[in-house]
Amino acid sequence: MFIEIAEVSKQFLQRGGATPDKPFAALQSISVVVEQGKMLALVGPSGSGKTTLLRCIAGLETPDQGDIRIDGREVFSTRTGANTPTEKRNLGLIFQSYALWPNMTAEHNVAYPLRRRNVPDAECRARVARHLELVGCGHLGDRYPHELSGGQQQRIALARALVYEPAVVLLDEPLSNLDTSLREHLRAQIREIQRRVGFTGVYVTHDQGEAFYVGDRVAILGEGRLVQFGTPDEIYRNPNRAGVAAFVGASNRVEGRLGAGGGTFECQELGVLPLAAPVPGAATVMDRVLVGACDEYTLELRGGVRWRARSDLRLTRYNPGESVALAIAPDEFLVYPGRA
């Protein structure tokens, strides 16, 4: 494993409010691994601990407990006392704010890490040119940051992070300041470059769609804990709790109880659902909106509960007020104990 995070914990003091200086747990015994050449996406709501974990990997925060290894090298350990400075961890960092030097051209911004490492001029120029081309900005080398769009600035920041060929690239919500269409374009470019160059990455985002798109593995965090870890497909198809199911996609939810020795699920809205056979049902269409290549329906079930459902535009389209039949396959619903 290229990045190994073992039992990492971190507390901060809570400032202000009714209980000033009370510690709160930002990270609680987090353990994850990242394989060489793969991208780990850290995703979760605000305050879940994802940026704190990234900063611990970078050496910008010091954990209270745990071990962190990069390429087999111990960069932090409370067991041995190791704590390698950020500048010696061989990392590329890309922040939400881009952090470009405003008094330097794009070319000089990208060259800065090489100049700090005393790379010879000819090699420096060649590597800068190559990485500007890699991110599609070869024609922008003489422009200053204020002359670049947000997307162009982010690509320059990516080139700067890659130019000295670090072992690991850490990205902290790099696309959150961009509009939707540009964000989708750049996440595709980041994914393509990561696979072409082969760097090992950790990508922080609050957007589950973005996490599933860029991550070979996804770690979902909540209140400082690791909630679920796996491939995007594993998490989407088998969320380990109701909260994860709601977070990773448009899920509908009802409460009920298991019957017949676990062979049925019984609820007011749908009646008795056999867990080993397709479930029939009925609902009333309350609304229909166009979402890309699909119609999204708001359906009302018995008891006034409302669900969402999507249907291909090539299929029959229904209008508000119409009654429709539901069919739920056994592998399309999950049953969780208790309340989420």
pLDDT above 70: residue 267: yes
94 and 71 part of one domain? yes
| pLDDT at residue 250, as a whole number | 60
Place of tokens 């200053």: 144
pLDDT digits 0-9 by tens, 78-132 = 999 999 999 999 999 988 877 899 999 999 999 999 999 999 999 999 999 999 9
pLDDT digits 0-9 by tens, 133-184 = 998 899 999 999 999 998 899 889 999 999 988 989 999 998 888 888 888 8
340: confidence class by pLDDT, cuts 50, 70, 90: very low
- Does residue 128 fall inside a structural domain? yes
DSSP 56-97: HHHTSS--SEEEEEETTEEEEETTT--B--GGGS-EEEE-TT
pLDDT above 80: residue 330: no
pLDDT above 80: residue 262: no
Nearest Cα to Cα of residue 111 among 121, 102, 103: 121
- Does residue 296 fall inside a structural domain? yes
| 32 strand-pairing partners | 5
**Domain interval for residue 293:** 257-330
218 and 241 part of one domain? yes
pLDDT, the chain, mean: 89
| pLDDT at residue 202, as a whole number | 97
- Give the span between the Cα atoms of 70 and 89, in whole angstroms: 8
Range 215-221 average pLDDT: 96
281 and 210 part of one domain? no
pLDDT above 80: residue 328: no
| pLDDT at residue 181, as a whole number | 82
Nearest Cα to Cα of residue 73 among 167, 140, 165, 154: 167
239 and 266 part of one domain? no
- Does residue 325 fall inside a structural domain? yes
Range 63-88 average pLDDT: 96
pLDDT above 70: residue 13: yes
33 and 123 part of one domain? yes
83 and 193 part of one domain? yes
| pLDDT at residue 103, as a whole number | 94
- Does residue 208 fall inside a structural domain? yes
pLDDT above 70: residue 1: no
7: confidence class by pLDDT, cuts 50, 70, 90: very high
- Does residue 337 fall inside a structural domain? no
Of 224, 248, 272, which residue constitutes the final position of a domain?
Answer: 248
Range 56-67 average pLDDT: 97
- Does residue 62 fall inside a structural domain? yes
pLDDT above 60: residue 187: yes
Question: How many domains, the chain?
Answer: 2
pLDDT above 70: residue 20: no
191 and 60 part of one domain? yes
Range 10-36 average pLDDT: 85
Edge-first strand order for the sheet with 279-291 is 306-312, 294-300, 279-291, 323-328
CB-CB contact of 295 with 289 (8 Å): yes
Here the tokens at position 279 are 């479930």
- Give the span between the Cα atoms of 76 and 246, in whole angstroms: 35
Nearest Cα to Cα of residue 106 among 149, 154, 151, 156: 156
226 and 289 part of one domain? no
243 and 263 part of one domain? no
H or E element at residue 328 = strand 323-328
278 and 231 part of one domain? no
Of 205, 220, 248, which residue constitutes the final position of a domain?
Answer: 248
Angle between helix axes 121-134 and 180-197 (nearest 10 degrees) is: 130
The CATH number of the domain holding residue 215 is 3.40.50.300
Range 234-252 average pLDDT: 83
146 and 272 part of one domain? no
Instruction: Say if residue 200 is exposed, middle or buried (CB neighbours under 10 Å; 0-12, 13-18, 19+).
Output: buried
89 and 226 part of one domain? yes
pLDDT above 90: residue 255: no
- Does residue 335 fall inside a structural domain? no
| pLDDT at residue 19, as a whole number | 64
The CATH number of the domain holding residue 299 is 2.40.50
Of 209, 231, 248, which residue constitutes the final position of a domain?
Answer: 248
Nearest Cα to Cα of residue 150 among 187, 175, 180, 184: 175
- Does residue 306 fall inside a structural domain? yes
